[in-house]
Structures are given as C-alpha cells and as structure tokens.
C-alpha cells in the first residue's frame, strides 16, 4: 500500500494513498465539506425542517431500536454491522465488503480488509481505536474486478467516499456507517487502558454506554462498569484527542445508507435507515431482528451547558473543572435515572460534539472555521449562545439540487 500524502488535518482515510490523492481538496471532511449538496445527492432530499430530529441526525426515513435475536459473539453490540456485511455477500448483492479487522499484533489497532466470503466478516467484529486507510482498498477492489461493493466506515471515511463515489465507476455501492466520536491513535488509546486497569492487556472490550458508564470486559470473563464521572480523563495528556476528532462535524454518519450505532438505543442498537438503499439493507436482516421505536426521556440542556463550560476551559488550555469527590457517586447514580436518555441522549451527544468543534477550532485553527463548519452545525449550538462571528460565516453556496431533477 502507498504511503499517505502529508496533510494538515487528516485521519488517513486512505484517499491520499490512491490515484485520486488530488481529490482530497474537495473530498475531505476537514477542508470544505458541503453536506447540503452531498445529502441531496445521496438521499435525494435536504433535511426536512418538519422532522426536527433531522437537524441533529441528518436525513432518515425511519429510526429503530434493534438487536439481533441471536447476537454475534465478539461483536461490539449485537453484531448488526457484521451481519449486514455477511448478508450482502451471502445474497450476492455485492462481491466485496471493505471493513476493519484487527491488526494480528494488537486487537485495538484497525487494519483495512477486503472481505469476499461471508464467513470472513467475523474477523471485523468489535470496535478498534485508531485510524486506518480504508479507502486505499478501493483500488485493489477495482483491480480484482469488484463492481458491486459495500463499505463499512466511520464518518470521516464515508464523507470522502461519497465525494468521489461518482468517479469510481461502480455498478452498486452500499454504505454502512457507524457513528464516531472521541477516536484517537491506537498508541494513545493504550495509555488510556493503562490508566483504567493494572492489567490493561487483559481488556478485550470497551464501550462508552448510553447509561453514562464505560463497560470493560476482560479475557478471564470479568466485566467491570465505571461511571463516566470516575474515568481518569483529567490524567490524560492534552493532546490525547487529535484535533481532527475534536473538530469533526458529522457524529452520526449522515451520508451512509444506514447508520448502525447505539446512542439512541437505550441499551440496544440504534438504526437510522436513511434512503432506499438503507431500506434494502435493513430488509436483508429484518427477519433476524427484534426491534421497536426508540424512546426519549429527560432534558439535555443542562448537561450540554455543563459540557460547554468545561470544554471552554479545556480548549483554552485550562485544566478541566473536576466535580468534588464527595458528589461523584451521587451524580453518577442520578445520571442514568434523570439525565437525558434514548433519543434525548443522542441529541445531547450530537450537540456536545458540535460545541466542541466550534470551541476547539476557534482556539486551535480559527481560519478553518468558515469553510469547515456547516450551517446546520451552527443551528445546533445556537441555543447555547454560540453563533458565527463575521469572519466565521459559512460561505454562501448555490442551493443543492439532485442531478437530473
């Protein structure tokens, strides 16, 4: 595989390693993303103001709270993502799936793979932490004659993929997206594991759950949950999260055909079926799912305001304001009971991420704000008193239209 081209803000999605490297300027989420135009092209319509959740989550036809009735062992949740890849290959809808397996030397390190047999999807189960050049596999896939493919990716990979999609000459492309936030390099992630447990090598699973706890599973079968408030976040180095992941603008993978996450799922998985191809994907696994409508409870505003106050300090280089130790267990107990839950939790997380983007860009890369922050993100932070300054106003773009419409 070719080496990545040097780029300032870059998560090495793989594009710069291909013959389309020059397209980074138009394709990159960190330069001048045009979500309105891409959403129009991919989903055939803009976000609908009459469906307020589209302001937070992007266009979708329906949302589901879902689990596989026979969960896949080793999956991050119940394995809906893996199963979608398997079913696409089993049914012949595609001949290849691009996804992330784990590095053979390090279970946490992602390694892009081109999967052509359903049984090989199993190697991609579970969340890895870090970046790996998924889109660099588009060239070997084309060279091997694959014209109907699926890509499973995180938002910064999917944005670049959608931007170059029409140049790939594919017969069919299915895009399965997961939400993504707070990613970091695999090396940094190991430092976090070192702080969490005296035997970090025994940790086989980690997830930030929607009930405000981190779940850890160990090789010997032990399971531990830690309230967010008791995580050693203040002991992490200032550069633990790269600026890319502090400032990316698409938490819920709005350009995927289907998003498979957990944030709005209250303990189950959370599916956003975004377009007709997303419906087709869901149809492949629907008989294997137990599903219901997502629920929503609690109020997010005070949690987002508290996050904003703390993030302002962190972005300005000040230490995080820590809650007094005596209050932590009480608040840790209360949060899952009275804090935002279900869709309200997902809205809170999306707003927190939007706040973080604006504050960190203002401090660390103010000249990027104008081109990188889309109008819909400014709308999410407006209730918290953040508005674009004159020099931060997004450029006026012609209204997005669907080709041929």
Ligand X SMILES: Cc1cc2nc3c(=O)[nH]c(=O)nc-3n(C[C@H](O)[C@H](O)[C@H](O)COP(=O)(O)OP(=O)(O)OC[C@H]3O[C@@H](n4cnc5c(N)ncnc54)[C@H](O)[C@@H]3O)c2cc1C
Interacting residue ranges for ligand SF4, rule: CB under 6 A: 7, 10-13, 15-16, 24, 27-28, 30, 131, 154-156, 160, 180-181, 183, 244-245, 248
Site for ligand X in 84-103 (CB under 6 A): 99-100
The residue within the footprint of ligand X, chosen from 180, 289, 352, 380 (CB under 6 A), is 180
* 3-class state of residue 103 by DSSP: strand
Distance CA 225, CA 372 (A): 36
* String of contacts with ligand X for each residue 145-164, x by CB under 6 A: -------xxx----------
Tokens 């991420």 belong to residue:
353
Q: How far is the CB of 259 from ligand X (least distance, A)?
A: 8
| Residue 156, binding choice from ligand SF4, ligand X, none, Cβ under 5 to 8 Å by partner class | ligand SF4
Structure tokens at 173: 């492309």
% helix, strand, coil for the chain, step of 5:
40, 20, 40
Structure tokens at 268: 């189950």
- Residue 171 · residue 116 · CB < 8 Å: no
Contacts for 121-124: CB closer than 8 Å, 24+ residues apart: 121/82, 121/83, 121/85, 121/86, 121/89, 121/97, 122/72, 122/74, 122/82, 124/82, 124/85, 124/99, 124/100, 124/152
Residue 340 binding ligand X, by CB under 6 A: no
CA distances from 398 to 34, 37, 109, 119 (A): 11, 9, 41, 46
| Residue 263, binding choice from ligand X, ligand SF4, none, Cβ under 5 to 8 Å by partner class | ligand X
Ranges of H-type helices in 95-185: 138-143, 155-164
Q: Which is nearer to ligand X, 278 or 394 (CB)?
A: 278
| Residue 15, binding choice from ligand X, ligand SF4, none, Cβ under 5 to 8 Å by partner class | ligand SF4
> Of 44-52, 70-78, 367-375, 385-393, which part binds ligand X (CB under 6 A)?
70-78
Residue 350 binding ligand X, by CB under 6 A: no
| Residue 160, binding choice from ligand X, ligand SF4, none, Cβ under 5 to 8 Å by partner class | ligand SF4
Tokens 């531990």 belong to residue:
224
The residue within the footprint of ligand X, chosen from 179, 278, 294, 339 (CB under 6 A), is 179
Residue 342 binding ligand X, by CB under 6 A: no
- Residues forming contacts to ligand X in the complex (CB under 6 A) are 75-82, 99-100, 110, 124-130, 152-154, 178-181, 183, 260-263, 269
């Amino acid at each position: 595989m070719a080496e990545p081209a040097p780029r300032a803000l870059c998560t090495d999605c793989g594009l710069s390693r291909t013959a389309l490297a020059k397209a980074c300027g138009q394709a990159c989420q960190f330069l001048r993303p045009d979500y309105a135009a891409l959403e129009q092209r991919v989903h055939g319509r803009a976000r609908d103001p009459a469906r307020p959740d589209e302001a937070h989550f992007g266009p979708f036809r329906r949302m589901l709270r879902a689990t596989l009735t026979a969960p896949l062992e080793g999956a991050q949740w119940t394995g809906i993502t893996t199963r979608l890849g398997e079913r696409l290959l089993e049914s012949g809808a595609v001949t290849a799936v691009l996804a992330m397996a784990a590095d053979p030397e390090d279970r946490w390190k992602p390694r892009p793979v081109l999967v052509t047999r359903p049984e090989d999807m199993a190697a991609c189960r579970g969340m890895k932490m870090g970046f790996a050049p998924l889109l660099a596999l588009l060239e070997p896939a084309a060279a091997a004659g694959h014209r109907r493919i699926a890509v499973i990716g995180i938002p910064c990979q999917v944005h670049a993929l959608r931007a170059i999609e029409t140049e790939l000459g594919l017969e069919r492309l299915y895009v399965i997206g997961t939400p993504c936030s707070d990613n970091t390099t695999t090396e940094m992630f190991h430092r976090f594991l070192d702080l969490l447990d005296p035997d970090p090598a025994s940790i086989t699973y980690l997830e930030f759950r929607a009930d405000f706890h981190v779940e850890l599973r160990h090789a010997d079968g032990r399971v531990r949950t830690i309230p967010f408030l008791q995580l050693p976040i203040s002991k992490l180095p200032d550069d633990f999260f790269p600026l890319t992941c502090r400032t990316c603008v698409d938490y819920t993978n709005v350009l995927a055909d289907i998003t498979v996450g957990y944030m709005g799922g209250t303990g189950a998985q959370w599916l956003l079926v975004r377009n007709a191809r997303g419906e087709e994907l869901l149809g492949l696994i629907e008989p294997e799912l137990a599903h219901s409508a997502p629920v929503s409870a609690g109020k997010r505003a005070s949690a987002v305001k508290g996050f904003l106050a703390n993030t302002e300090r962190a972005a300005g280089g000040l230490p995080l304001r820590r809650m007094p130790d005596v209050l932590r267990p009480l608040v840790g107990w209360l949060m899952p009971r009275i804090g935002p839950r279900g869709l309200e939790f997902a809205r809170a997380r999306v707003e927190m991420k939007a706040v973080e983007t604006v504050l960190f860009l203002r401090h660390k890369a103010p000249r990027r704000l104008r081109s990188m922050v889309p109008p819909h993100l400014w709308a999410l932070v407006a209730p918290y008193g953040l508005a674009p300054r004159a020099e931060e106003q997004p450029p006026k773009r012609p209204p997005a239209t669907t080709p041929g419409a």
